[in-house]
Amino acid sequence: MAPPGDPRRLCRLVQEGRLCALQEELQAIGGYQGPAGDTLLHYAARHGRRDILVYLVEAWGMDIEATNRDYKRPLHEAASMGHPDCVRYLLDRGAAVDCLKKADWTPLMMACTRNKLEVIQDLVEHGADPLLKNKDGWNSFHIASREGDPLILQYLLTVCPDVWKTESKIRRTPLHTAAMHGCLEAVKVILQRCQYEPDCKDNCGVTPFMDAIQSGHMDIARLLLEKHKACSWAKDSLGAQALHRAAVTGQDAAIRFLVSDLGIDVNVRATSTHLTALHCAAKEGHTSTVQTLLSIGADINSKDERNRSGIECKPHVCFYIKHRAWRLGV
């Protein structure tokens, strides 16, 4: 450990919760600010050291609204790490509940990344606004949908029934986010309590069903088909379907589901590029996906808008496709 009086030692004492040693050494240095602008209050809040937080505020008069270089305040730190005792203390001392850090994140948004319901409840009960958005257009419900805790989503919808009526700056909804991240229970809550239009699209034309398919979350894809009447052949802004997007990300099970179970044409083309799923998989170098597509009837001679077949898209995949074609006698 650093020698007595060294600021780094003070930070270590806070992290370890050694209040008595901190009291002795703080007399010698009179305060501390770290390389990122963190005060000892930031360290205490981050590590859940309420006793040290109380001591620094009440014995040394440290500012609970002190900001570091990212404009984080101690309340951001306590909320983001899920420390309810520190959050309550700071709120009781009058900390600004909707203060903004860099990128316009509030403590409530930070708390929603931790799935700590009691911290979220404390912030809301002290006036935190779930409708505020960060620089990307995400509100707290959007962030909670990414983490997927159904109890938190239910709570936010109860205290703020309109919180689901939100889109990011690229028009992605919480349903998109939950589907992409595989949060099945969150999707169930959203479908039950929110009124998103089936096949709502973001700026790229991507639907929640496409998000689920291209990320390999088949349980969510099936749920969206059953409960939300999602369209399995909807097209994005480039005219690509879920099948093409699954080929790009190498989701073999999703491809088989779309073609074998839902009857999607394996050779369907994206309307703007004329690419088939085989082209997409070959361009990305997904040899196993190329094998899957060929096994369910993909046409190796299909041409894209540049008159290229799948075998001309990627050298090492080209060899595999040619070999496969030879074996099939094509």
For 35-46, what is each residue's pLDDT tens digit? 668 899 999 999
**Residue ranges of domains in the chain:** 1-97, 130-231, 236-330
Identify the H or E element spanning 289.
helix 287-295
Give the whole-angstrom CA distance, residue 271 versus residue 281: 17
What confidence score (pLDDT) does residue 24 get?
73
What confidence score (pLDDT) does residue 166 get?
97
Contact 84, 122 (CB under 8 A): yes
The parts of the chain modelled with pLDDT lower than 70 are 1-7, 28-36, 304-330
Give the whole-angstrom CA distance, residue 311 versus residue 317: 7
Fold of 236-330: 1.25.40
The two structure tokens encoding residue 271: 């309307």
Instruction: Please state which of the four CATH numbers 1.25.40.20, 3.20.20.70, 3.30.300.30, 3.30.70.120 is assigned to the domain occupying 1-97.
Output: 1.25.40.20
Task: Quote the distance between the C-alpha of residue 83 and its chain's center.
Answer: 22
Same topology between domain 130-231 and domain 236-330 = yes
Answering whether pTM is above 0.85, one says yes
For 76-117, what is each residue's pLDDT tens digit? 999 999 999 999 999 999 999 999 999 999 999 999 999 899
What confidence score (pLDDT) does residue 127 get?
98
CA distances from 97 to 37, 113, 159 (A): 21, 17, 16
The two structure tokens encoding residue 163: 């919180």
What confidence score (pLDDT) does residue 261 get?
97
CA distances from 196 to 206, 226, 235, 327 (A): 14, 15, 18, 48
* CATH placement of domain 130-231: 1.25.40.20
